[in-house]
Amino acid sequence: MVNTFFKNPIMVKNSNPVAFNGPCKSPTVNIKLLGNITAPKTLDGWKGCIKNNFWIYFTSVQGLKIQGPGQIDGQGSIWWKNEGQTKTNACNRPTALHFNSCNGLQLSGTKHINNPMLHMSINGCEGVDVGNIQIFAPGDSPNTDGIDIGDSSHLNIHDSNIQTGDDCVAINGGTYDINVTRVFCGPGHGISIGSLGENGGHDTVEQVRVEKCNITGTKNGLRIKTVPYGTGYARGIVFQDIHLVNVENPIIIDQHYCINSENAYCPAPPNASAVKVSDVMYANIYGSSATKQAITFNCSGKYNYTEIVTNEVGISGHDEISYCQNTQGKFIDTTPPINCY
């Protein structure tokens, strides 16, 4: 029925997973999250997960709008404190909130805390706006990414506070026209593109803008990471007007990323296949580094990084140096200076 609205409470039992499966008859669906949704306090309390991996799951719900001020609490510490605990008899360590094929998604004003794994994942969605949200987890909580994005386009994340134990925002393969604006990030692993090319896969990322963000106390700052032997490309990427405070690896492009270890170097022969990285700009990036090596462009050699530009970049703190291999571009008014070989 056209222009008919129904207002009814949706009851979500705290101990159970829940799936919202479209398509829906209405072109828009509005949800107001008023209370707190809390996960079980014990591992035995989990009654299963959607597809073994998700706690709250939306699929094929078009025009979905979720507004706060409610909170989703994943009670993640019961998973984190058991080292290596990735699953129970009921489910794997779950992502708290997942959106699949939800075009026109809008999410605002919600709070997300202490989830077992990813706080939010967005996959196969177009025309998404996420703003004015808060995501909190301890800096040492494993794999607690704030927002993970894959196979999606025309997506905006803005005016939000994300403090986790992993990537604040992770932009994965199959993404186009992604904008991250006025986001506070830290602690965590920074704002990342990738990892791309896992398990020899083909991944593409294009037209990404990260601007007017503050990154504080993170293990990485602005990062592009690809895995050896993958294929595809990452291009048309702009990092602009970023303030960095005591950040390890403030600027890094790494084609030797190991998916099983955050700090390991994965060697590959010079002719090994690789995700091609090109047309990346860093402009008006200022702040302090927690590590001596402030800028890293570590290209494998199969495809040189091309059209890499730094302009008005100043990172200070520990007599910083840069490392640059197999990279072509322009490095203007940049500290520490970049010399490539």
CATH number of the domain residue 185 falls in: 2.160.20.10
Q: Answer yes or no: is pLDDT of 3 > 70.
A: no
Tens digit of each residue's pLDDT (9 = 90 or more) over 213-256: 999 999 999 999 999 899 999 999 999 999 999 999 999 999 98
- The CA distance from 185 to 197, in Å, is 25
For residue 196, the model assigns a pLDDT of: 97
203 belongs to a structural domain: yes
Instruction: Find out whether 270 and 240 touch, Cβ atoms under 8 Å.
Output: no
Domain that holds residue 188: 167-335
Taking CA atoms, 284 is separated from 210, 211, 247, 335, in Å, by: 12, 10, 16, 11
User: 43 or 177: whose pLDDT is higher?
Assistant: 177
Structure tokens at 79: 């998973």
For the chain, percent of residues with pLDDT exceeding 70: 93
Residues 6 or more apart from 59 whose CB is under 8 A from it?
19, 20, 21, 22, 99, 100, 101, 102
Q: What is the pLDDT of residue 7?
A: 61
273 in any annotated domain = yes
Phi, psi of 289 (to 5 degrees): -105, 145
Question: Residue 58: inside a domain, yes or no?
Answer: no
Token reading at 247:
């950040």
Q: Is residue 328 part of a domain?
A: yes
Q: Which helix (H) or strand (E) holds 243?
A: strand 231-247
Q: Show which residues are catalytic.
A: 189
Helix (H, G, I), strand (E, B) or coil at 43: helix
Q: pLDDT by residue (tens digit) across 155-172?
A: 999 999 999 999 999 999
Supply the pTM of this predicted model: 0.94
β-strand 327-335 against 305-316: which pairing, if any?
parallel
| Domain total of the chain | 1
Is residue 211 one of the residues assigned to a domain? yes
